[in-house]
A and B are shown apart, each in its own frame.
Chain A
Amino acid sequence: MQYFPLTDKQREEIKKEIGIKDIKELFSDIPQEKAWYSLDNLPNALPENELLKRFEDLGDKNTYSDYLSFLGGGAYNHFIPEVVNYLSNRSEFLTPYTPYQPEVSQGSLQAMFEYQTMMAMLTGMDFSNASLYDGGTAAIEGALLALRKSKKNKILVAENLHPEYMEIIYSYVQNLGIEVEQVRYNRETGKVELDELKDKLNSEIGGFVFQSPNYFGVIEESKEISDIVHSEKKAYSVQVVAEALSLPFLTPAGDNGVDIIVGEAQSFGLSLSFGGPYLGFIAAKKEFLRQMPGRLVGQTKDVDGKRGFVLTLSTREQHIKRENATSNICSNQAWCALRAGIHLSTLGKSGLSKISKLNHLNTAYFVKEIEKFDFVNVKYKKDFFNEVVLELKNDNGIEFLEKLKNRKIFAGIPLKWFYKDADNQVLINFTEMHNKADIDLLVKEIGDLK
């Protein structure tokens, strides 16, 4: 088999060298009554061409590409320049381990340092780490970071946080003695109820986790929120971003007084890939440095005075601090962060501005066009980024989406999946990959449903 370079002759030579006759002698510590099992239920080896064919056939069983999709909700279909695939697939980037030997890992380390810098620029924060698993786990890491810093064990979370992120937060805290309380959103604006936030905030609260743009696509009042949170000592605002492409379009979190920003950066050069691998990010004000979870790359000098990069401040991490580490994360999403760095460099300042704006304008165009029908209604008409909630007067969301699916359109996500009181609401996403004709078609097909 092609993955085994030893020849039978060499195997015999090695056996002789180490003084064994039978390979089984090497495994004699293993309980022999249980060893050497058969794998009869599994298939035989597939040659390369048949292997490829097998997966092409599996791909053909997915009928996804037959549909025009407006699915978003934390996973977005964006343009990826080909150089991102080309460069990230260089085996120098793809096949090394974590850069434990910096002298021969400057490639990974420099790329991570550049990624950290770009994320700090986009978020307006003092620093970023080198990646977390995904948006949902980044949300809980952000919450835990705020609590570590505040030395409190109660946190407020906005009700309109991505429902999966919310579930992840509840899963993680269940054994940590941390209390989570939700702050409702306003049913008219889709935004966090600021009065309720004020009411629920007290000296026991370590922070407030909110999403902007929130799960309904609406941009929150981050500055006001941060001001309210800061009225309490040692309470921190944690902004979650599930659509990183909103970062180049909107006032940076740092300028709004946000303390910690976390989220999902799949939109930066990672394909939909049925949900992974994606890219969790976290950036914060410098006062959070020593409490940060995950890897950090820092600049330094070698013995000749040359600039170089190393993994740094690792006394926060599990391999040193063990159970007292800031997080248990070890392997992260380094290669995804590399792709994000390449993607961001390729689009550059102008590309990011243009494409993020196009996302918003496509959405705004839909909002304008759909106004002509009175049996559907865009629920939050102001301050959306690239997603809107459509309210249906005659239909429930699941049936509405099923009808459009029959017309070869995935028109969105039924909010009924996650919210009890949202039977007749669907979440629709528009990106730069949709052109006017796609949106016109969606509007026409919705119109035909009347």
Chain B
Amino acid sequence: MSNELNILPELIFEISKEGKVGYSFRDIDISDDLIAIDKSKLREDIKDFPELSEVDVVRHYTNVSKLNHSVDSGFYPLGSCTMKYNPKINEKIASLKGLNTHPYSPTDCVQGNLEIIKELEKWLVNITGMHGFTLVPAAGAHGEFAGMMVIRKYLESKGDARKIVLIPDSAHGTNPASAHFAGYDIKEIPSNEDGVLDAKTVKEYLNEDVAALMMTNPNTLGIFEKNIMEIADLLHENGSLLYMDGANMNAFMGIVKPGDIGADVIHLNLHKTFSTPHGGGGPGSGPIGVTKELVQFLPVPLIIEGKDGYSVNYFNDAGIGRIKNFYGNFLVIVKALAYLMALGKENVSKVAEDAVLNANYIREKLKDVLDLPFKSKTLHEVIFSDKDLPVTTLDIAKRLLDYGIHPFTIYFPLIVHGAMMIEPTETESKETIDAFIDVMKKILDEAKKDPEYLKGAPYNTPVRRLDEVLAARKPVLKWINEENEG
């Protein structure tokens, strides 16, 4: 097919040539006689390590980069990942020299940076209705872990840590994993035929061992957990807490505050709702917000705003302790604050409004050609199944690649057969979405006429379907210099 002539870049090790130099730096002006380490501890050579000129490095990484689909190159409706546009001014701001300081600088010399952290905390407090925030967690899962630790510390302070955390069957895998690392056993709780949790069901699962319920809201079906206030009341009566996973906060930011509808702890993903780029998998940032009763248990460091400026509590015996070095992923925090300041208070709810409008438009346009497993109202994303199709969700996803569109999230949540989870976000135009709808219809048409052809897709990508079984069965996790082998 068309990619026969498509030549992939070699690995950086394969273009290395002995003696090439890619950097410039002053020569060493101190005698080797001063070396204060035993010779036996010194390294002789880094075998096979790359040696390249600067232009070699630039061409290599430029050509490698071109093999990626990205938000800046096209539509990326990956459900639950909120692949919104990443504003360019935020990158410029994050690179400002004035912000680039050492984390152990005396606090009077980094007042600007501490103000940035405190400012973002204020924005998040106002948006979510939580009492206090920490911006330390490095990612969503790290926030979940910190949040569950806070819950545990709080319950311990009451003399009863409890054993069990309830998690709905539609939850992300990080929820049970994070609760487990906070020392809890997991009990899965089913959602009802409308795709949400029933207060009645929750009640059945409650007992004196239940520490908390982790609820993603809107859940991974894109449906708002409309019984949240009733469920929160039940939990609180039982002495349990409500953890709200805010991965999908883009759906109702500015519409309703989690703190007003019963959440005790929430985490947010700055790399989703607050526009910071995903960078091919990270760095993210997963701040957690908590109620007044829980603030004292937050991880260190804590930034304190006083009359004479900002200071830092680097130790706090009451809390869960330290969970990460320094202040968190600071530059991600900078970008998120820049995003919110650019939005301003008047545009916060507009994010959710347009995101939900776009998702419902896709739902409306595709509901006659794809199976909609849950008929409930959906917010920022819509989930279809591959029921009654002549091909699978995977085939459709792979065919989308040929049309230059990144597929939606596939086969998640697990409770939907062949799930296609589509999240367009508010930063996509109607033109882009219309084009996507057309392509989807075209593919479904192709599927009817020639399902075998779709099973071979993609055809126009740098590589075609990859053998994942081979990768796992005979793991090759680094380049091996074949010249050294044999």
Contacts and interface: CB of A to CB of B under 8 A. Distances in A.
A252 B140 CA distance: 34
B471 A95 contact: no
Interface in A346-375: 346-355, 357-358, 360-362, 364-365, 367-368
B52 A348 contact: yes
A323 B283 contact: no
A320 B43 CA distance: 41
Contacts of B35: 360-361, 364
B236 interface: no
Interface residues on B, range: 35 or more
A214 interface: no
Given A10-B430, A90-B65, A323-B186, 8 more contacts: A1-B347, A39-B348, A79-B25, A121-B46, A167-B321, A171-B299, A329-B141, A334-B280
Interface in A254-294: 264, 271-278, 289
Nearest to A306: B463
B368 interface: no
A108 interface: yes
Given A26-B360, A40-B345, A367-B36, A336 B282 contact: yes
A127 interface: yes
B131 interface: no
A104 B281 contact: no
B177 A322 contact: yes
B377 interface: yes
B282 A332 contact: yes
Interface string B58-73: 1011101111111111
Given A168-B322, A346-B54, A73 B25 contact: no
B395 to A, nearest CB: 13
Contacts of B81: 97
Contacts of A98: 278, 280-282
B320 A274 contact: no
B291 interface: no
B280 A108 contact: yes
Contacts of B206: none
Interface string A1-37: 1011110001101110111000100111111001111
A83 B327 CA distance: 27
Interface in B73-109: 73, 76, 78, 81, 83, 85-87, 89, 91-93, 95-106, 108-109
B377 A106 contact: no
Interface in B230-260: 252, 254-257, 260
Interface string A50-89: 0110111111111111110101011101010101011101
Interface stretch (B197-205, B334-342, B385-393, B441-449): B334-342
Contacts of A164: 322, 325-326
Contact of A93 (B65, B122, B348): B65
A134 B325 contact: yes
A71 B472 CA distance: 43
B417 interface: no
Given A300-B468, A348-B23, A60 B139 contact: no
A195 interface: no
B279 A274 contact: no
Nearest to A82: B54
Interface residues of A, number: 201
B5 interface: no
A384 B325 contact: no
A398 B68 CA distance: 50
Q: Which 3 A-B pairs have the closest CB atoms?
A: A59-B98, A275-B326, A175-B183
B169 to A, nearest CB: 11
Contacts of B83: 97
Contact of A87 (B65, B314, B344, B364): B65
Given A36-B255, A325-B173, A42 B149 contact: no
Nearest to A34: B260
A338 interface: yes
A302 B464 contact: yes
5 contacts: A127-B477, A168-B323, A274-B110, A276-B326, A360-B36
B361 A27 contact: no
Interface in A103-132: 103-108, 110-114, 116-118, 120-122, 127-128, 130-131
B207 interface: no
B316 to A, nearest CB: 11
A104 B354 contact: no
A170 B283 contact: no
A350 B21 contact: yes
A6 B280 contact: no
A51 B338 contact: yes
Given A23-B353, A219-B37, A61 B111 contact: yes
A202 interface: no
Contact of A45 (B13, B177, B344): B344
A200 interface: no
Nearest to A25: B377
A383 interface: yes
A191 interface: no
A147 to B, nearest CB: 13
B115 A92 contact: no
A1 B34 CA distance: 61
A252 B149 contact: no
A103 B466 contact: yes
A133 interface: yes
Contacts of B182: 175
Contacts of A99: 280-281
A110 B13 CA distance: 12
A349 B104 contact: no
Nearest to A89: B91
Contacts of B3: 304
A278 B22 contact: no
B379 interface: yes
Nearest to A363: B36
Contacts of B67: 104-107, 110
A368 B33 CA distance: 11
Interface string A226-244: 0000000000000000000
Which among B61, B76, B328, B464 has the highest number of chain A CB atoms within 10 Å? Answer: B61
B282 A250 contact: no
A410 B106 contact: yes
Interface string B1-39: 001100011011100100011110110111110111110
A396 interface: no
Contacts of B475: 127, 289, 296, 298, 312-313
